[in-house]
Amino acid sequence: MTRLSDAAFGASGKKLAELSDDELQQERSRRHGGRLPSDQKPTWKRVRQYLANLELSPGATWPEIERAYKRLRERYSPEKHEGHPERHEAAQELNRSLMNAYGALRDYFRQEQ
């Protein structure tokens, strides 16, 4: 199992410890996305952003989304960084972003059925 500190992080492919403050902020911003109210269908642009948050391309299937979500939640688990406050906070934010993206995509796919 790859530890978060050893894994390639986001689009830059750097390890978490190698990211500058600006790169970490960019990654947080890239992954940040709020959930929409359940009665409001997300736009395609929003869906593409949620897929990007899960490191998937447009056209991903629901099983691919589930696998990516589980893989990224494991990779960016805050428990792995309890001794490093900044990394722990970043991992918590990334986990929230992943949960928001997954939840919005789940709602989107339910509406499509």
Residue type, 16: L
Tokens found for residue 1 = 């199992």
Please give the Cα distance from 30 to 53 (Å, whole number).
Answer: 7
Tracing tokens 């997954």 back to the chain, one arrives at 102
Nearest to 52 by CA among 97, 107, 93: 97
Tracing tokens 């940040």 back to the chain, one arrives at 32
Question: H helices within the chain, ranges in order?
Answer: 21-31, 44-53, 62-75, 85-112
Q: Tell me, what's the pLDDT at 66?
A: 94
pLDDT tens profile 72-84: 999 888 898 888 8
pLDDT tens profile 24-68: 666 666 655 544 444 455 677 788 888 888 999 888 889 999 999
Check: pTM over 0.85? Answer yes or no. Answer: no
Reported confidence tier of residue 10, pLDDT bands at 50, 70, 90: low
